[in-house]
Structure 1
Amino acid sequence: MKHLLNKFEIERLLAVLTLAFVCICMWGCSEDRVRWNEGFSGAEIVGFVDDSLVMVGSYQMRTESHEGIFEPYWDVVESGHERLCVYNYRVQEDGPRWCDTLGEYNMTNAFRGQMTDSIIWGGGMPNSIRLWKIGESQHQIKLKKLTEGCSGEFGITSVKQWLDGKFIARGDKSLNAGGDSCQYAVLDTISGTLTYKRLDKNLEWIKVCDDVRAWGNEVYCVILDNEGEKSLVLKNKQDTISAPRKFAIGGFWGDMIKLSGNICSINSDKITCSDVIWYGNGDGLKFYQNDELVVEY
């Protein structure tokens, strides 16, 4: 009887030691807790809908608390639950006109750029793209990569409207790539294809563009000069669109064009700028009129 009791106790001891060994290998038997912050962080402007509405992206922080038997208590702070909102930037209002928050636990890189007047693009280009349209939920399109007469890929930093109802995807310096390197790509969201190409003779002129997009069958280009004296907006290589002010920074935001701090519209090849100024995300969600702060979120 004594021998059997000792054997039973030994088996229990071995079970406890086995559990302890497993806990040590797994960094301690722990109780994990996740707490999401009530508010949202990192708010920045990601697009302009028109001359009065702006899109703002943000995210929620979470704290994952771990407490183990053989390890001290520790926290891991990460982010997720990305949120897209629409605000009025000409008149101060109580809050956003519309918001939608993703249920994704981790970040999806949702706010990589503005694609149209109402769509923000993000995700893991060039293998897939996530589209987030105002009034709708974000969805993902898996992409098939093709090449036509060129080789190599590039990091995609811009996706904007292009000819034939498609989109032009390019990198910061890809349009200037030499040799047989691919210079841009055409995104077809219907077929789910991303086709890498070199510029043909009709499009070679856009190599000098700092930003480029199409309206219908017309190609528009922004060329920047560091001093702002020679910056200009071109249409189809030769036609210059008169700008109402000098600008050293700028580019297309959906159907709007930013010329330094001014948000402007283009109608019938005429650029009209609002009297509201936005200095960029470095200044936060602040808009000025006659040097006075008029809107802040």
Structure 2
Amino acid sequence: MKNFVSRHFAVAMAMLVCISMWGCSEDRFKWYDGRIGAEIVGFVNDSLVIVGDAQAWLKSHEGIFEPYSDVAGSGHERLCVYNYRVQEDGPRWCGQLDDENMTNAFRGQMTDSIVWGGDLPNSIRLWKIGESQHKIKLDKSLDGCSREFGVSSVKQWTDGKFIVRGDNSLKAGGGGCHYAILDTVSRTLIYKSLNENLGWIEDCNDVRAWGDDVYCVVLDDEGKKSCILKNEKDTISTPRNFAIGGFWGDMIKLSGNICNINSDKITCSDIVWYGNELKFYQNDEVVVEY
């Protein structure tokens, strides 16, 4: 009986201590092994691909007077560069962020070696292969239009600047802004309307500049009349018909083919990527998988 009373007295004292300290509780945090959410972010050239992924974590909370709870999330965003022509043991390079929560670090490819992300239009994160990530706060303004758009694309433009678009912003009506110009030197983002010189890019599904020349991908739903235009009037000959496509850094994707453009001549690799997994095919057989 004495032992029984002693045990219960000890438990009661422990509970009183917990109450005086606003309750006993335990928080646990762990990172899971492995990576999740792997996706292709861009292409460096005709043999290297940029892949982004993250790491999952779990937070657990338990207390005497509180229900047990788990909260799952992900962070530690990572970029890696792989060879997509030849199967190798692992990546050529990887860089990882320390952030516990996701930062939208890789929303798209900006140049051949830079991936963009972040909270546009307020700020942009630039992550160059081989370097750490940089965050730039932006000043924004409206020039000839009155309504902003959600950003989905940042590509190279003339005068060392970048063109910023939304999914359908080039067709915006009612005073909406069609595109924006990002100047990373002055840290500004200026929303604009299409003028007479650029009105022709309204029908572009993707657009960018090489030097002073503007290139545009116009997609046709049937895949028979999709084309690449240069400065409105010139049509760039393509080695195959394509239904989907666009610019990935300095490369062009025509349906499943990753292609290079040099002096307005397009050459496509015999490696095919269908766009829905980290597998690359040659003659309908998987040659590289990550």
Normalising by the smaller structure, the TM-score range is over 0.9
Matched, 1:40 2:38: no
Alignment match, 1:294: 287
Correspondent of 1:69 among 64, 71, 77: 64
Give the aligned residue type for 2:287: V
In percent, how many aligned pairs have the same letter?
Answer: 72
Number of residue-to-residue matches in the alignment: 277
Q: How far has the Cα of 1:30 moved from its partner?
A: 1.9
Superposition CA RMSD, Å: 1.6
Matched, 1:30 2:28: no
Long gaps (5+) in structure 2: 1-12
Q: How far has the Cα of 1:20 moved from its partner?
A: 3.8
Give the aligned residue type for 2:281: Y
Correspondent of 1:100 among 95, 102, 117: 95
Matched, 1:155 2:150: yes
Q: How far has the Cα of 1:200 moved from its partner?
A: 1.1
* TM-score for the superposition, normalised by structure 2: 0.92
Correspondent of 2:177 among 153, 175, 182: 182
Give the aligned residue type for 1:154: F
Alignment match, 1:254: 249
Alignment match, 1:55: 50
Cα-to-partner distance string for 1:226-247 (whole Å, 9 max, x where unaligned): 1100100000001000111111
> 3-state DSSP class of the match of 1:73?
strand
Matched, 1:244 2:236: no
Q: How far has the Cα of 1:116 moved from its partner?
A: 0.2
Provide runs of 4+ in structure 1 moved above 3 Å. Answer: 19-23
CA distance in structure 1 between the partners assigned to 2:150 and 2:53 by the alignment: 24
- What are the within-5 Å matches in structure 2 for residues 245-284 of structure 1? 245-280=240-275, 282=276, 284=277
> 3-state DSSP class of the match of 1:207?
helix
Q: How far has the Cα of 1:199 moved from its partner?
A: 0.9
Alignment match, 1:285: 278
* TM-score for the superposition, normalised by structure 1: 0.90
Long gaps (5+) in structure 1: 1-12
CA distance in structure 2 between the partners assigned to 1:38 and 1:286 by the alignment: 22
Q: How far has the Cα of 1:21 moved from its partner?
A: 9.0
